[in-house]
Structures are given as C-alpha cells and as structure tokens.
Amino acid sequence: IEADDLAQIIGGWYSDCERILAEEASTVDKFIGDCVLAYWTTVNEETLSAALRAAKKLLSSCEKIYLARPDVFARIQRNFEIGVALHTGKVAYGGMSQGEFTLVGDPVNLTFRLESMTRELAKNVVISGDFVRELPEIRTLCQNHGVHRVKGRAQAVEVFSLNSLPGD
C-alpha cells in the first residue's frame, strides 16, 4: 500500500480503536506501528466482558475501514483484518525513557506473542488460558488449541480462540 493511502487507513483505524476502547473503559497505552496496546486496571467479570465487547467492536470496524477505501484493498487483493489477543496478568507501569511511560512485564510480552498466533491459527481472537479461567462462562464459546511454547517464556501457555463472541 502506498504511504499516503496507508497513513489514511491506519489513521482511521487508530481513531476507531481509540473510540471503541474508550467506550469500553479501556486505556490505550500506545500505538506501535499497526498495533495497539490497551489495558484495564482491574481483572473482574465487568472488565473481562468489556474486553470481549471491545474485541467484537474492533473486528466489526474492519468492514468500515475496508468500505472507506475499497480501491486500495482491491489493488492489493486483500481485506482489512485484525488480530486480537486477550490476556490477564499483573504488570508494571514504568518509565522507559524521559517522558515515556508504558506497561512492562511478562503479561505484555505474552499478549504480543498471542496476537501473532492469530495468523498462525487463522483465528481473529486468541485468548490465554488465564483469561478463560477468570471468565469461565466463555469456555463454551472457545476452541482450545492446547498448550503452546512461546518465545521468551519458559512456561508454556494454554491458548484458546473464540468461535463466537458473546451476544452473537
């Protein structure tokens, strides 16, 4: 995609992400290239459900982005798709450099590894076993992909994908 077109598409996506995540009471930590890192400060049924709703809305926003620039996507013969990874865990919020703060810790790294699994597993939403254990009622909506080793982590992680989102 040409730089000008890409800037418009990613800019529209960033805007949708900010709006959707704000609607679900999440905080956007940062945008990293074509990725967004967002978080909730507590782990409970309400915030986990909000994360699932946000995932659903973010997936729905893909069609809006696609329809805004069908010429670009026709030229590259692709749709606009995203991968969403959901995980829970305790992180630190620290200064990386002067004036820049971000989330740090194993849960952040694992979440990025899970997001990369969306392509590997051909699933739009990948969820850690920790997330599913915190919200067990979603297990019936999930497919278990077993335990996976992930780069940079000694302990393997149980991985699920969503077959359907709550409310579908």
Summarised one tens digit per residue, pLDDT across range 21-39 is 999 999 999 888 788 999 9
Mean pLDDT to the nearest integer, 102-107 = 85
Residues whose CB falls within 8 Å of the CB of residue 167, separated by 6 or more in sequence, listed in order:
53, 56
Give pLDDT, residue 96: 65
How far is 165 from 62, CA to CA, in rounded Å?
16
Residues whose CB falls within 8 Å of the CB of residue 151, separated by 6 or more in sequence, listed in order:
113
Q: Label residue 11 by pLDDT band (50, 70, 90).
A: very high
Kindly state the tokens that stand for 156. Answer: 């393997």
- The predicted model scores a pTM of 0.90
Q: Residue 89, by phi and psi: left (phi above 0), alpha (psi -120 to 50) or beta?
A: left
Q: Label residue 144 by pLDDT band (50, 70, 90).
A: very high
Give pLDDT, residue 97: 67
Is the predicted pLDDT of residue 48 greater than 80, yes or no? yes
